[in-house]
Amino acid sequence: MTRAELTDALRAIVGPRGVLSRASELLPLSADGLPTYRLPPSLAVLPSTRQHVIDVVRLLAREGVAFVPRGAGTGLSAGALATGDTVIIGLNRLTRILSIDPVNRLAVVEPGAVNVSLSRAAAAHGLHYAPDPSSQSACTIGGNVAENSGGPHCLKYGVTLNHVVAVTVLLPNGDITTLGSALGETPGYDLLGAFVGSEGCFGIALDVTVRLVPNPQAVRTMLADFMSIEAGARATSAVIASGILPAAIEMMDGPTIRAVEASIYAAGYPADAEAVLLIELDGLEAGIDDDVRRVQAMCTEAGARTVRIARDEAERARLWQGRKKAFGAMGRVAPALVVQDAVIPRTRLPDVLHTIHEIAARWNIQVCNVFHAGDGNLHPNIAFDPHDADATERVHHAMREIMRACVDAGGTITGEHGVGLDKLEYMPLIFSPASLDAQCRLRGVFDPERRANPGKVVPVHACREWLASPAARTVA
Amino acid sequence: MAGIAGGAHGRVMPADTVVRAHTTQEVAACVKDAMSRRTPLRIVGRGHWLDAGAPASPATPLALDALAGIVAYTPGDLTLTARAGTTLSDIAAATAEHGQWLALDPFGTDDGTIGATIATASAGPLAHAFGTPRDAALGLEVVTGDGAIVRTGGRVVKNVAGFDLTRLFTGSWGTLGVITEVTVRLRARPEVDETWAVALPPDGAIGAACRAALGAAAAPIALELVDAPLAAALGLGTGPAMLVRLAGAAAAMRAQRDALRPLGAAALGPADIWQRLRAAEPPGSTVVRLSHLPDRIADTWQLADHAPGVWRHTTPSRGIVRVIVTNADANDAAATIARAATGRCTLIAERAPAAFWAWAATPMPNAALASRVRAAFDPAGILNPGLAPDAPRSHAPQSADA
């Protein structure tokens, strides 16, 4: 089948408005929020129904064409980009919430359902969907499953993996299977656990069954401000070690605070502070204020100037808005922002943040830190001008050093954004060749032809099987 | 030393053939050797799970009890790394010194190993609040069936680097690889940890009792309903009881205790009640788990009604009823329950005679994918054969040094 024939065949499935082939209409699909990657695809298909998705994938399977499943394109790891002949399958038209079972606290959604829309729909039952990435007003549940996404409240409630009960999967060869079950335990291997976080390499989720969580009886949100990042990090470590498990502990550093305060998202953070901690406690009303006092004391002990407790829902929403829109606010600092993602052991927060600061100074770049301190999940964000070749080069160098510092501290290269293309080069820093090969073997189970999101997650040279294949010899 | 006893279902292994590994390298050498000779291995921690799961084919025991000890523990990080043969009691002792714990309480005793807990994904009553081993495991070191030493995940609490082999190996019953090291997430021990036994009416409606308990304004870390015979065996009196484990700061306890009042007369349970429950089943019992949606708990529960010598308990929030068939006619009673369960819920046999498995076990879902997974990680099918679908015969085994 020629490319034109393939395009026509796809149009026959999804209709003329469901296929994008002109450069101008494909432009929005050439990035996923990470300014260092811009890869225009040559063809995209946007199914409107489940049957469309199935027919499209089966057509591509027959024709041996590779594809990239894509949700809202907010992944930040270049995981949802396609090059060459690879076709993008955009799933963000499948947005329905198929059912909510308030008694068993379950919901079934289509892959393109927007994260926050599920919590809105569940609110009528006093429930919500716990994983809340900062992009939750745009990102999709299917994308969350692909990336095993986190969010501020994952500190207490767990990440996507802990909330997905079952997924109906369309395998790359067109077969449909259900992983996991909402109806009790599943015997056999935890293929659902393997599928969550597989970055679109194992197939497409046709529907996702997730757990809903009861809204807490009581919520207390507090803001502590510090004159050094180290002091904020010490407070975080103290709270984590104390046994109180906050719903969230988020940190923002001085540059972030000032960008937020200068923006329309101004949240009332003290603009002269070098760090603020946004700490949220939730649970039963009984005893929560004692925990608030203990956390307050720990922050003060660590050097907090003030610890403010939100008096009402409006103030709480305002404090959170500053955090959730911090990335947007940084648009004031420079035209582009690399949002990075790494995790370190929580006791290493003070020294690794210090190291990141040194690296930024050495490469003369501006790093803004806004991150999930309670999990040790850093987001060192670098604001820069992508048209400045020298600055771009320095950003790359600094990024590599920051990643290495996190790995050297016993950490990992991504906590919630995924490997995609961006983190491929770091995979050998944390996994041996045998460990990478084992990941390739798992991919081979789901997608022996390596047609689903090819070239992502595991460096191709790590796969023994691939190296032995005729394709590898051709490349060499 | 005597053979490695495999419990009461007649699976005892002779001692003279046991291979005992002290290091991961020794495990890898043993697996490579076994692969090259096509001699199957039975992976053994401290032997508590040998009569659990599907009946394994005869194989040389590879004992990991000497591959023990805590490798890394930084209390401030709330993570711990231990070799597979480390017992749960050793982990409990080390973490208790820092006011922390590994919130997993698999059925059996704390003499079991962390490796077996992860390999079998065994979860007890604490799963109500803290989830199962898949939620606690952060990273593993595994020797796959070709002798490769593979590390999965990491030592931090959040990690999406690469495909999630940690979840794949957790609960794979040693059929994809030999787990040699485990990193787990810990939790701070609550200031107060107390269990209340709420007496339920003898013929009370199970569903209503579960709904009331789940709806109470308390945040128990375990909530378990036990039937009358099991309650009696646990020394809790003569009727069914709801065990409610409350934990938290002392200041928050009073309101939680008050919230239990509408459920019935509550008495503070014995301090070791959970150890008693975990180790309640008499040797030789057949144990099966029935599960469905939580709101179907009463239906699931009644599937084991009228079977003589049967004890039941349930974690209502998870929709799982654990059925212990204690009498000598276990086979008949278990068969009756399995027949009743067919088509009505998921049945997972935890410990059962070999004959029971032949017809009663729920077929492995996704059998084709599962057997490809098996072939990918244990190409020669030498690890715990019988516990998992065997690799398809058409698969050509790789050479040992591949």
Inter-chain residue contact A446 with B172, CB threshold 8 Å:
no
**Taking a C-beta distance cutoff of 8 angstroms, is the pair B35, B143 a contact?**
no
Count Cβ atoms below 10 Å from residue A361 Cβ, excluding itself. Answer: 12
Compute how many other C-beta atoms are within 10 angstroms of the C-beta atom of residue A100.
18
Average pLDDT value for chain A: 94
Residue of B134, B154, B191 lying closest to A430 (CB–CB)? B154
Whether pLDDT at A406 is above 50: yes
The tokens for A433 are 């060749």
Q: Which amino acid is at A64?
A: G
What pLDDT score does A474 carry?
Answer: 43
Q: What is the pLDDT of residues A447-470, one digit of tens each?
A: 999 999 999 999 987 776 655 555
CB contact under 8 A, A435 and B218: no
Task: Give the chain A residue nearest B131 (alpha carbons).
Answer: A162
Residue-wise pLDDT tens digits, B173-222: 999 999 999 999 999 999 899 999 999 988 778 999 999 999 999 999 99
pLDDT of residue B70: 98
Whole-number pLDDT of residue A237: 86
CB contact under 8 A, A442 and B163: yes
Tokens of A210: 């997730």
Q: Which of A74, A48, A189, A68 is nearest to A141 (CA)?
A: A74
pLDDT of residue B54: 83
Contacting residues of B for A183, CB less than 8 Å apart: 291-293, 345-346
Residue A468: predicted pLDDT: 59
Whether the predicted pLDDT of A225 surpasses 90: yes
- The ipTM of this complex is 0.96
Q: What is the mean pLDDT of residues A8-18?
A: 97
Element (H, E) at B190: none
- What's the confidence (pLDDT) of residue B383? 96
**Which chain A residues touch B167 with a CB distance below 8 Å?**
161, 190, 192-194, 196
H-only helix segments in B107-183: 114-120, 127-130, 133-136, 165-169
Please tell me which of the candidates A186, A197, A437 has its beta carbon nearest to residue B160. A197
Please tell me the pTM assigned to this model.
Answer: 0.95
Q: For residue B320, which residues of chain A lie inside 8 Å, CB to CB?
A: 184-185
Q: Are A106 and A212 spatial neighbours (Cβ–Cβ below 8 Å)?
A: yes
Tokens in use for A11?
Answer: 């149009």
CA distance A12 to A4: 12
Is the CB of A188 less than 8 angstroms away from the CB of B365? yes
Q: Across the interface, do B156 and A343 touch by the CB < 8 Å criterion?
A: yes
**Residue A10 has what pLDDT?**
98
pLDDT of residue B202: 83
Helix, strand, or coil here: B358?
helix
Whether B6 and B51 have beta carbons less than 8 Å apart is answered as yes
In 3D space, the residue among A169, A142, A172 whose CA is nearest the CA of residue A56 turns out to be A172
Give the pLDDT confidence score for residue B402 in this predicted structure.
29
| Least Cα separation, residue B170 to chain A (angstroms) | 7
Phi, psi of A332 (to 5 degrees): -75, -25
The alpha-carbon gap from A69 to the nearest alpha carbon of chain B, in Å, equals 16
Instruction: Check whether A75 has a pLDDT greater than 50.
Output: yes
Beta carbons of A291 and B373 less than 8 Å apart? no
Query: A318: part of which helix (H) or strand (E)?
Result: helix A313-324
CB B354 within 8 A of CB B9: yes
Say what the pLDDT of residue A243 is: 79
- Contacting residues of B for A290, CB less than 8 Å apart: 249, 251-252
| DSSP per-residue codes, A95-141 | --EEEEETTTTEEEE-TT-BHHHHHHHHHTTTEE-----TTTTT-BH
The mean pLDDT value for A170-185 works out to 96
Instruction: Report CA dihedral (A31, A34, A38, A44) to the nearest 10 degrees.
Output: -20
Residues of chain B whose pLDDT is less than 70?
1-16, 328-331, 359-363, 389-402
Contacts of B163 in chain A (CB under 8 A): 194, 197-198, 201, 439, 442-443, 457-458
Cα–Cα distance measured from residue A246 to residue A239, given in angstroms and rounded to the nearest whole number: 8
CA B106 to chain centre: 5
Q: What is the pLDDT of residues A253-270, one digit of tens each?
A: 999 999 999 999 999 999
Rounded to 10 degrees, the C-alpha dihedral B349/B350/B356/B360 comes to: 0
Mean pLDDT confidence for A373-384: 94
The CA angle B157-B158-B162, to the nearest 5 degrees, is 125
B352 vs A90, higher pLDDT:
A90
Find, in chain B, the residue whose alpha carbon is nearest to that of A283.
B219
For residue A115, give the amino acid letter: N
CA B223 to chain centre: 17
Task: Give percent above pLDDT 90 in chain B.
Answer: 74
* Interchain proximity B256–A284, CB inside 8 Å: yes
